[in-house]
């Protein structure tokens, strides 16, 4: 960290800072500027110290130098992480697509969707059983009954299953049924849940909070990894801005940035970001072109009758058309998409 002293900081105040640094095993380097003194001190423990130093007499401000995350950083691991779940490998050369309804509503609904998204090239089947809804008067999910359906259908069609967990009890149930758990945007800083998912060892899809900086998002991943679980896939799903046309603003620049800062794979959810099915295609193509390792897309056999998020869901037919476009873009940027699947059809 760099400690910027006030213009009129006294000798005693500077000495006091140096003493404090020494007590923590750091050495302070004085830099005499034109009209003020700054003190440099870099080390692993700088985060621990910075708050206290900020309040010492004569200090104007503290400028942090080190990034606060460690395990998830490229500096800790140069090699890219590939999260492998059954036949899916997220973070490798292939662009992997997860598709399915926002909420599990019935076995028929999930089967209809699964058969068609599988045929179109999806590797993962998504479906919510515990729904965080803004209104207490909205449909809240089928819970364990929904998970059973998801698990059965996933197995039948050879799809990796993923579902959102919202607290410790739902995690305990979900981990028995699905292949991967999802932490939703609203729970990105539910630190107890992050730790529990970390301890579970279950592969996890970690969505970015709707007002989380990229650094905070990586810190959330750090919670999971510090608890022993490196099977983390990050998911950009739009951030909150002043623009009212889209539900959120999809921050696609997060894709190359996360790949620069971290070894973890990153996918994109254009359905929640835009909030409207007619913009999902353009943003899916853009995400793949930006380097995303995969997509999370809402598909419903009858969007107008969906109990949750219908307006942003694609029909299976629209989804199949979209995967053709995704394949073209993936190839254009040196990636693959569901290559073997194509050969076998």
Answer for which of 13, 86, 331, 341 binds a copy of itself (CB under 8 A) is: 331
Q: Is 233:265 a contact under the CB 8 Å cutoff?
A: yes
Q: Is 42 in the site for a copy of itself (CB under 8 A)?
A: yes
Answer for which of 13, 18, 24, 43 binds a copy of itself (CB under 8 A) is: 43
Site string for a copy of itself, 168-207 (x = CB under 8 A): xx----------------xx-xxxxx-x------------
Q: Is 282 in the site for a copy of itself (CB under 8 A)?
A: yes
Q: Is 22 in the site for a copy of itself (CB under 8 A)?
A: no
Tokens of 313: 């869901």
Tokens of 180: 């991967």
User: DSSP class of residue 75?
Assistant: T
Answer for which of 228, 253, 317, 342 binds a copy of itself (CB under 8 A) is: 253
Q: Is 245 in the site for a copy of itself (CB under 8 A)?
A: yes
Radius of gyration of the chain (CA): 23
Rounded to whole angstroms, how far apart are CA atoms 8 and 235?
A: 48
Q: Which residues pair with 90 in a beta bridge?
A: 83
Q: Is 321 in the site for a copy of itself (CB under 8 A)?
A: no
> Residues 80 to 119: which contact a copy of itself by CB under 8 A?
none
Q: Is 44 in the site for a copy of itself (CB under 8 A)?
A: yes
Helix pair 316-332, 280-290: axis angle to 10 deg: 30
Please, which residues have CB within 8 angstroms of residue 19's CB and are 6 or more apart in sequence?
none
> Residues 117 to 176: which contact a copy of itself by CB under 8 A?
132-138, 140, 166-169
Strand segments (E) across 166-304? 180-183, 204-207, 232-236, 266-268, 294-298
Q: Is 252 left (phi over 0), alpha (psi -120 to 50) or beta?
A: alpha
In the complex with a copy of itself, the residue whose CB is nearer, 43 or 341, is 43
Q: Is 228 in the site for a copy of itself (CB under 8 A)?
A: no
Q: Is 12 in the site for a copy of itself (CB under 8 A)?
A: no
Answer for which of 19, 22, 68, 172 binds a copy of itself (CB under 8 A) is: 68
Rounded to whole angstroms, how far apart are CA atoms 220 and 226?
A: 10
In the complex with a copy of itself, the residue whose CB is nearer, 15 or 253, is 253
């Amino acid at each position: 960290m760099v400690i910027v002293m006030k213009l009129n900081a006294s000798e005693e105040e500077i000495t006091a800072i140096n003493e404090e640094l020494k007590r923590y095993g750091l050495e302070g380097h004085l830099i005499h500027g034109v009209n003020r003194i700054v003190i440099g001190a870099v080390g692993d423990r700088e985060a621990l110290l910075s708050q206290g130093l900020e309040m010492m007499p004569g200090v104007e401000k503290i400028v942090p130098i080190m990034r606060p995350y460690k395990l998830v950083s490229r500096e800790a691991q140069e090699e890219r992480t590939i999260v492998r779940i059954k036949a899916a490998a997220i973070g490798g050369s292939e662009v992997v697509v997860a598709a399915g309804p926002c909420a599990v509503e019935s076995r028929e609904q999930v089967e209809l969707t699964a058969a068609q998204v599988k045929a179109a090239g999806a590797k993962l089947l998504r479906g919510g059983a515990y729904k965080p809804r803004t209104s207490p008067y909205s449909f809240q999910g089928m819970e364990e009954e929904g998970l059973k359906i998801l698990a059965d259908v996933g197995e039948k069609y050879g799809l990796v299953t993923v579902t959102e967990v919202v607290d410790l009890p739902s995690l305990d149930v979900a981990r028995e049924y699905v292949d991967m758990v999802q932490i939703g945007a609203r729970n990105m800083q539910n630190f107890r849940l992050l730790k529990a998912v970390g301890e579970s060892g279950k592969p996890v899809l970690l969505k970015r909070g709707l007002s989380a900086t990229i650094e905070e998002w990586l810190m959330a991943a750090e919670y999971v990894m510090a608890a022993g679980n490196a099977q983390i896939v990050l998911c950009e799903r739009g951030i909150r801005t002043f623009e009212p046309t889209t539900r959120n603003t999809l921050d696609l620049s997060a894709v190359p940035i996360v790949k620069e800062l971290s070894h973890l794979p990153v996918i994109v959810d254009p359905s929640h970001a835009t909030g409207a099915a007619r913009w999902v295609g353009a943003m899916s193509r853009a995400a793949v072109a930006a380097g995303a390792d995969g997509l999370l897309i809402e598909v419903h056999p009858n969007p107008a009758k969906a109990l949750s998020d219908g307006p942003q869901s694609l029909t299976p037919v629209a989804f199949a058309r979209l995967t053709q476009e995704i394949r073209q873009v993936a190839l254009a940027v040196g990636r693959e998409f569901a290559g073997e699947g194509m050969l076998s059809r």
